Amino acid sequence: MGSVATKTHPNGLEYVEISTALCKARIFMQGAQIDYFEPVGKKPLLWVSSADDYQPGNGIRGGIPVCWPWFGMSDKDGFPQHGFARTRLWSMESVQLHGDVAKLKFVLHIKDADRQFWPHLTRVAIEFELSDTLKVSLVNENCGHETVTLTQALHTYFPIADIHQLKASGFSGAKYIEFARGPYVQEGDEVLFDRETDRVYTELSPVQLLHTPDGTIEVGREHSHSAVLWNPWIDKSKWLSRFNDEDYLTMVCLEAANVLEDKLVLEPGQSHTLTTTIRWL
């Protein structure tokens, strides 16, 4: 039988600890951010910086921060990078254990103070399905009378043991923008890493593989034609918050997204589910 327990981190953040016959996981109420997922008998599938001190108000540097309702910098002054959802408290709406599979749903009740960022009448929820695979869905519903447009990403940090040995595959046919330049057409199917990489891909096929020294991670996306591939490399690592100088050596982010021309346009009454599914092959 599985167990789901609510606990409090020494720094005050509340989280849910999940243990089943298939996995162990931890999800924080702040940001509905999962920072730990380990399938039984396998290595953890999510990376977190040892420099992160789990302070309330900061998104955790690792796991899966949720970028919503915009990805990256906003064009409006003073609006936080990657939206506000990753630092707000979400409510756990339901927990279900079906055999060895745990399902948890979190919703964000937007506070009046955040209406300056998001005045629209929408509902947003995050659903986790935990087995030997991690499935995360970001669900948006337009409950108002106007069309709503947003960008978003499930900003997953993967452990890759050694960036110099990482091969990421599944990119052929895609286009990308990098450092505000492009779009470039992806050459070949693979990406290797020997410099800062910060690519926003579009027209990307639904499955990528991360070939790491510890094995291959499969990363799937549904209702998403875009994704972000990011490693800060040496210089950016030095000034990135809650990140050690050497951390770039052991992580990569591959983020299921709806960005650029793949942005989400929701008509009144419409809903949309962005899903990423992650597992060791």
Among 102, 228, 260, 266, binds ligand BG6 (CB under 6 A): 228
Site string for ligand BG6, 119-148 (x = CB under 6 A): ------------------------------
**Nearest to ligand BG6 of 60, 130 (CB atom):** 60
- If one asks whether residue 155 binds ligand BG6 (CB under 6 A), the answer comes out as yes
81 binds ligand BG6 (CB under 6 A): yes
Identity of the amino acid at 141: E
In the list 35, 52, 127, 198, the residue contacting ligand BG6 (rule: CB under 6 A) is 198
Q: Which two tokens stand for residue 240?
A: 């990135």
145's CB contacts (< 8 A; 6+ apart) are 121, 268
Smallest gap, in angstroms, from Cβ of residue 40 to ligand BG6?
30
State which of positions 37-76 bind ligand BG6 (CB under 6 A): none
CA 40 to CA 22: how far, in whole Å? Answer: 5
For ligand BG6, the closer CB: 142 or 157: 157
Alpha-carbon distances, residue 36 vs 7, 65, 111, 175, 225 (angstroms): 14, 12, 28, 31, 26
Q: How far is the CB of 23 from ligand BG6 (least distance, A)?
A: 25
**Counts of helices then strands in the chain (DSSP H, E):** 1, 23
Using CB under 6 A as the binding rule, whether residue 230 contacts ligand BG6 is answered as yes
Give me the least distance between CB of 171 and ligand BG6, in Å please: 16
Strands 175-178 and 181-185: antiparallel
Tokens of 247: 């951390």
Yes or no: say if 81 and 73 are a contact pair by the CB < 8 Å rule.
Answer: yes
Q: How far is the CB of 67 from ligand BG6 (least distance, A)?
A: 7
Sites for ligand BG6 among residues 239-268 (CB under 6 A): 240, 253, 255
Q: 89 - beta bridge partners? A: 30
CB closer to ligand BG6, 160 vs 253:
253
Half-sphere exposure of 39 (CA within 13 A, CB side): 15
Q: Which residues contact ligand BG6 (rule: CB under 6 A)?
A: 81-82, 155, 198, 228, 230, 240, 253, 255
